[in-house]
Structure 1
Amino acid sequence: MPGETRKFDVIVLGAGAAGLMCAAVAGQRGRRVLLLEHNAQPGRKILISGGGRCNFTNIHCTPANFISDNPHFAKSALALYQPRHFLELVERYEIKWHKKTRGQLFCDYSARQIVDMLLAECERGKVEIRMNARGIAVEASSGEFRVACAVGDFTASALVVATGGLSIQKMGATGLAYDLARQFGLKVIQPRAALVPLLLSGAEGGWTGLTGVSADVTVQSARGPQFREKLLVTHRGLSGPAVLQASSYWRPGESVRVDFAPGINGQSKLLEPLLAQGARRDDAALRQALRAVLPQRLAWHLADVGTPTGWSNAALEAAEGRLRRWEFHPAGTEGFEKAEVTAGGVDTGGLNSKTMEARAVPGLFFIGEGVDVTGHLGGFNFQWAWASAVAAGKAV
């Protein structure tokens, strides 16, 4: 009947990776579950992940692969549900997969297989899924949550917020998780774009003339670890896996340090050929030394912008140091439109690490990207989605 309020045991908001997983786990425990999604289809970000093949986890996953104001928060959920557990589910559905060198696991064929698997798991749990649930509003009273939206009015004693962060807004990302957290008195750590390209301007804008050039480097922001992977120069600045990793730690006003020759150990130097007795010391020799290690366009550019102040041993040593600790000063990031994930979010201090339930609001849970737990590049954010979802799904 029009206007009827339907009652469930659990309402899950958001049919992304975390929401689908949580709904399936709760449903298979015998809970009557409603899954609401404001988009027209479930799992949209899953479908575009990993170049369409979904980097669904990483076998090397540890709490050290995550960023949070509380670095210990993720430990419980990650221990409860590990990469091997999700892999067992993937293999149960006979989804073919492959491993890349850094432990990332991908589907051989299509990310659609992961979405279909999660939908099948929801069906096993008799989860009711409603799409196009726009205009979601939540109220709480007498131990129940009432959700009103475009597809109806619903109530439940447990509400799980799995609406994600602000990244990739063209896929329908919203700040609903943060709005609901604030509505119920939870603190929100300022969301910021993470795993995102960095912008260069001013004197460093000339680097964009190397658009398309990539090199194996190490990159480190002021407050993060070193990442040795590829750097890619773009028409707006810097990208590539190493830069994306460092971007999650970067803050405006800080520098980013690059070692252009990480494969050279302390006993052999990038400019070693110029330091040899009787060696030629001029611009041509500098270019030749750099070209032996770096792509030509990058070597030529570094020879121009990193020319030694002279050709003495001391000057060459100083130039070597600069090339091994080159500092960029990004003007910003490409923002949430290009960010793969959102850092910051619902403060973990207000959540139970074993269940993801709000300490001050019984029955209210936050999982996935909307929480202040952000993984490194390489399948770690999916593993957080699965782990936090299972923790909540077993608790609701």
Structure 2
Amino acid sequence: MTYTSSLLRLLDERGYIHQQTDAHGLDALAAKQVVPGYIGFDATAPSLHVGSLVQIMMLRRLQQTGHKPVVLMGGGTTRIGDPTGRDESRKMLSDETIEANIQGIFSIFSRLLKFGDGPTDAIMVNNQDWLGQLGYIQLLQEVGTHFTVNRMMSFDSVKLRLEREQPMTFLEFNYMILQGYDFRHLARDKGVALQMGGSDQWGNIVNGIELTRRMDGKEVFGLTTPLLTTADGAKMGKSMGGAVWLNEDQLPAYDFWQYWRNCDDRDVGRFLRLFTDLPLGEIIRLEALEGAEINDAKVVLANEITKLCRGEDAAISAAATAQTTFAGGGLGEDLPTIEVDGEGIRLGAACIALGFAASGGEAKRKIAEGAVRLDDVLASDPALLVAVPAGEIRKLSLGKKKHGILRGI
């Protein structure tokens, strides 16, 4: 359809829209007033990873088109765990850990959104503030009557567990009720009219819309993004070395930059639309590059996303390190580094310490495959004791694109 609101036009042309509960109604509302919209994030780690970046960028698009982003931190729902797409129950976290995780996660939002008291300034709320006050009998009486077990059993998150004969606790079974209650609470308390999320959250979003209508007679809207995978079918957020975290404390800027620089050629245009603020005309030009020139577009992609998430200095430094390492044959200062004492370090252990492998077995396999080089010379023995004299450095490489420094102390 042709949208009249700048919000849905932007989301549509950038490729964010998968499903909407009422596209015409939301478009009309967004064309005439500020729409507060929210996305929820559970605080299971001190950082989100790039799998959450499309959701964060949707909140940024909301603000860019004159609307109000509401970041919902799941201080309460983190204590339960969203069963969607999971075969196992989530590990229970302490209150202190959840609060520390929320503080860590806020740093990425503070870079991408403008927070404040203005009509379109972003706000962050914590559902522990209201879920923690709900009594069990109150929840059953006020909310439970609007959910049927028949409907809840039809959700993919529940059916998946049952089909695979994986246990689902009663605690997890209640997650969809609490998420629906979140939408109803935010609609009443903050005037929120829109919930956005990934396509796997469609059922939960619809639940919240129906609950808000039944309890308060208020019309609210839902919108989901397509399932985000790379061109080769891999789930966004993972790399050879593990999760691609958004925060510097969990992943150095150089590794973050390299993740985007090494993306599949087929993903360049889509990622530029979703994850950068570059004008569409420039994106069309970049994605049309062919052959070796597509690498120039990947550098632009890496620079723009790193600048947004880590700051301009981090982007410049990461790009300079890549240039030094690959074009100049040197060692950039931003490369992952470990310190090695006079006793040296085994080659396999060095691979693990630099994030090249997650275990000794994986390190052995990569070494046996001929993927590891020490000072640009093939290394074949995982038990090799690598000595690094104090004050000197040696380079360890995995394939052609991943490098690290061993620094003697």
TM-score of the two chains, using structure 2 as the length reference: 0.21
Please give the TM-score of this superposition, normalised by the length of structure 1.
0.22
Bigger share in strand: 1
Higher relative contact order (CA 8 A, sep 6+): 1
Identify the structure with the greater helix proportion. Answer: 2
